Every structure is written in structure tokens, then in C-alpha cells.
Amino acid sequence: MRIVVAGAGAFGTGMAIALANGGADVTLLGRDEQAMKAAQRSRTLPRPEGCVLPERLILTADPNVMRDAAIVLLCVPAQALAQFLDDHRISLEHPALVACCKGIDLRTLTGPTGVISSAIGGQSPSILTGPSFAADIAKGLPTALTLACADPALGARLQDALSTPTLRLYRSEDPLGAELGGALKNVVAIACGACIGAGLGDSARAALMTRGFSEMQRIAGRLGAQPETLTGLSGLGDLALTCTSDLSRNYRYGMSIGSGTAPDENTTVEGRHTARAIAQLARQINIDLPVMAAVDGLVDGRITVARAMDQLLARPLRAE
């Protein structure tokens, strides 16, 4: 069974390494032909740092490899997913498609599985998400993720194909809940990073995590997700990791905002776009999400961290 990992960024490379080391037939597809040729010679890629590519892992920049794949892991940024699917529609009609990005499309206000369903007819798309850093996966450190697919038989086959001795996948039939958990926790991570960057302390961060998680549950339930999905790996688990580690790109971005330093503009920070998307969606369905609204204001530069905290603390007292 051939697996193609589309996207040679940190997570895509980490997954390709883990699957190849687990004995799978894996091809890593990148955009830059010269970079992939250089990696083929050196058996290294820039990210994750310090990880050597297994000899059995095939590297290519030829998208036609997806035509003969049984499974394609879509490890491209959430905002680039729709264009990628449009560019390679014919190659992606037959493989089982698994989204590995975390975000909400700004144009359609849908998550990755919704984007896939709209672009590729006849698919029952899956999403692979949960608390994980690419370097941990690549190094073979124990990691647990959620594999969510509405088709239980397909989900079971994917779970078996994509699990390794150190990468443990838990199956879910709620892709909507799984993708919302993965997307929304990035917004809360930006809030927590800004809190720590501004010197507001760990107690404030704990409060933001808790109230942010409540907002995640609230909007996910309104949109039709199963409540228990948000309390699993793809929701609470991912939130705990992303809001407490400076290895998280979204958390580091928030710290830059809080400390007043320039963020790294060369790093993909999905939470910036998700904050804007969720603010639009919240207005459409008339739901109050104060923490996420504050993050939307922060990333757009409309408010300061001090102003955001004042607004949150000035809200009417109420029961939890």
C-alpha cells in the first residue's frame, strides 16, 4: 500500500519519516524540485531539525505520484488546501484523502474535510490531528493522535495503515469536531502566548485556557460536533500542548505580540487566519466568543494586550 505525504514542511516530513521507519511504502512530495533532489542526496531536510531521512523514503516533486497512491496525507497549510486540491483534482480522485492541517478556510469558513468534500466528489475525507510536534513524531517519541472519518470501515483501515509502534491513532467518527478542536486551540494558544509574553502570569494563562476551551466546546456544539470529541486528543489534548510549550508556533506568535517583538513572518501560524475566520463565523451565527474575539483584535492590531485583558475582566460577573 503506497502512502504519499503531500507537503514537505515539518509535519509532513515528520509523518513521512515515522511511517517509513514503521515499514510503510512512503513517498514525500514537495514543491521545490531542486530542494527535493538535494534532500535525496543528503537524506536531510531543514525541518524537523536534526532528523535523518530513512533510505526507504522516496522523495519527489512530481505530483503525479498521487495518482497511484492508496492514501494521500494532505500536509499543506489550511489556507493553501483548496488551491492544492484544485491544482491536482485528477490525481486525487481515487486515493483516500487525509487532511493533516489545522485551520478554517477564510473563503468558505469550513474546515479541511469540508474543503475536501467540496473539491473532490465522492470522497469521505478524514482528518489526522491531535497533540504533536513534528520533531517528536520524526524521532519516534510516543505520540497519540485522533484519526477522524465519518465512514467507520474506511477509518479502521486508515487507523491500521497509519499507526506505527510509537504513533498511536485513536479512531473517531466525528471529523467536524476533530477539525474544530485542532483549529480553535491555535487561537487560544495565541491568547496564552500573548498573556505570558506580556508578563500577566501563569494564573491568567490557566484562566484563558479554561475559558477558551469553553468557547471551543460552545461553538463546536452549535455547529454540530459531538461534545466528547472536544474533550479528547484533538481538543483538550492539543490545547494543553499548544498553550504551554514555546515549541508551538501559535504560542510563540502570541508571545511576540505580548512582548512587543516582531514575530517570525516566515513561519506558518494557522491561528492568525483561524481567529479571523471564527470571528466571521461567530457573527453569522450570533454566538459570543470573547477570548477568540480578543485574539482576532490582537492579530489585526486593532487592540493591545492590555486593552484585550481589560475588556475580558470588565465583562459582567456570571455563573461558570
* Active-site choice (37, 102, 139, 185): 185
In angstroms, the CA 131 to CA 129 distance is 7
Q: Does residue 185 have an active-site annotation?
A: yes
Hey, what's the cell of 29? 512530495
Per-residue confidence (pLDDT) for residue 123, from 0 to 100: 82
Quick check: 219 and 289 in contact, CB under 8 A? yes
Please list the residues that pair with 97 across neighbouring strands: 72
**What amino acid is encoded at 4 in this protein?**
V
Q: Where are the beta strands (DSSP E) in 62-182?
A: 71-74, 96-99, 126-129, 143-149, 167-172
In angstroms, the CA 137 to CA 125 distance is 23
Q: Which helix (H) or strand (E) holds 152?
A: helix 152-162
Question: Which domains are delineated in the chain?
Answer: 2-173 (3.40.50.720), 183-313 (1.10.1040.10)
Opening angle at CA 302, ends 301 and 307, nearest 5 = 105
Per-residue confidence (pLDDT) for residue 82, from 0 to 100: 98
Closest by CA position to 2, among listed 91, 120, 101, 81: 91
Q: Where are the beta strands (DSSP E) in the chain?
A: 2-6, 25-29, 58-60, 71-74, 96-99, 126-129, 143-149, 167-172
The residues, any chain, with a CB within 8 Å of residue 195's CB and separated by 6 or more, are 201, 204, 205, 208, 254, 258, 305, 309
Per-residue confidence (pLDDT) for residue 320, from 0 to 100: 87
> pLDDT 10s per residue in the chain (320 long)?
999 999 999 999 999 999 999 999 999 999 999 999 999 999 999 999 889 999 999 999 999 999 999 999 999 999 999 999 999 999 999 999 999 999 999 999 999 999 999 999 888 999 999 999 999 999 999 999 999 999 999 999 999 999 999 999 999 999 999 999 999 999 999 999 999 999 999 999 999 999 999 999 999 999 999 999 999 999 999 999 999 999 999 999 999 999 999 888 778 899 999 999 999 999 999 999 999 999 999 999 999 999 999 999 999 988 88
Quick check: 75 and 30 in contact, CB under 8 A? no
> Tens digit of pLDDT for each residue in 61-95?
999 999 999 999 999 999 999 999 999 999 999 99
In angstroms, the CA 157 to CA 167 distance is 15
The residues, any chain, with a CB within 8 Å of residue 17's CB and separated by 6 or more, are 51, 53, 54, 57, 137, 138
Q: Is 175 helix (H, G, I), strand (E, B) or coil?
A: helix
Per-residue confidence (pLDDT) for residue 58, from 0 to 100: 97
Burial (0-12, 13-18, 19+ Cβ within 10 Å), 129:
buried
Please list the residues that pair with 98 across neighbouring strands: 73, 126
In angstroms, the CA 92 to CA 69 distance is 9
DSSP notation for 212-234 = HHHHHHHHHHHHT--HHHHTSII
